[in-house]
Amino acid sequence: MAATDFKIRRLEPQDYEAVYQIFCGPRAVWGTLQVPYPSAEGWRKRLAEPPEGSYMLAALAGDELVGQLGIETSPRGPRRRHAARLGMAVRDDWQGKGVGSALMQAAIDMAEQWLNVARLELEVYTDNESAVHLYKKFGFVVEATLVAYAFRAGRYVDTYAMARLRSDLVR
C-alpha cells in the first residue's frame, strides 16, 4: 500500500484499545520504550489525559487503527518552543507497508506548517534499520549516538538522537 492509502486523523480517547493492541506486539515493544504485558487501563488513562502540548495522530487502514504517532511540543520551555519530539509505533502485522511514511508525512506537515515547529527530534535504536531508513527518508540526520541509552531484552542498547531542521533553520 502507498502512504496515501492510509487515513490520518487525531487519536481520540476511545482509541485506547487499538493502541494497547499495537503495544501487545513484540516488535512494537522492541522498537520503543514500552514493556511486555501492557496495561489497557494504563493506555486508557494516557489517552484520556494526554500531556500538555502533545498532538497524537492515528493511521487507519479501512477503519482499523494500525499505527500511531505523537508530537510532543515544549509548552513549558519557552526557549525550546521551536522544538518538538516525535514518538511512533506501527502494529507488528502492518510494519513495512507504508504506515510509518503516512504518519511521518502528516506529522511533519502538522509540526512545521501549523505548529511552527522548526526542529523535530526523536530517538531510535541504532539497530532498528527500517525505522532509521524511514527517518532519513524524511530528512532526519543522526546527531548523536547515546550509549547504553535503554534496557531492551536483557541488555543495554544504544540509540541515535536524530533531528530534522525546517529549511529556514538549516545553516
Partner 1 sequence: MTNTEPIDYAIRRAEPADYQAVMRVMEGPKAIWGTLQLPYPSAEMWRKRLAEPLDGYYGLLACVAGEVVGELGLLTNPARPRRRHAATLFMCVRDDWQGKGAGTALMQAACDLADRWLNLTRLELEVFTDNEPAVRLYKKFGFAVEGTLSCYAYRAGRYADVYAMARLRKE
Judged on CB neighbours under 10 Å (0-12, 13-18, 19+), 134 is: buried
Q: Are 59 and 42 in contact (CB under 8 A)?
A: no
Query: What's the closest the beta carbon of residue 100 comes to partner 1, in angstroms?
Result: 21
With respect to partner 1, which residue has the nearer C-beta, 40 or 60? 40
Q: How far apart are CA 50 and CA 144, in angstroms?
A: 29
Q: Which residues form the interface with partner 1 (CB under 8 A)?
A: 33, 35, 77-83, 118-119, 121, 142-152, 156, 161, 163, 165, 169, 171
Q: Using the minimum distance from each CB to partner 1, give the nearer residue, 127 or 143.
A: 143
Smallest gap from residue 117 Cβ to partner 1 (A): 12
7 or 46: CB nearest partner 1: 46
Least gap, CB of 29 to partner 1 (angstroms): 10
Q: β-strands 83-90, 119-125: how paired?
A: parallel
Report d(CA 146, CA 59) in Å as an integer.
29
The nearer residue to partner 1, 48 or 147, going by C-beta atoms, is 147
Give the shortest CB-154-to-partner 1 separation in angstroms: 11
**In a 10 Å sphere around its CB, with 0-12 CB exposed, 13-18 middle and 19+ buried, how is residue 87 labelled?**
middle
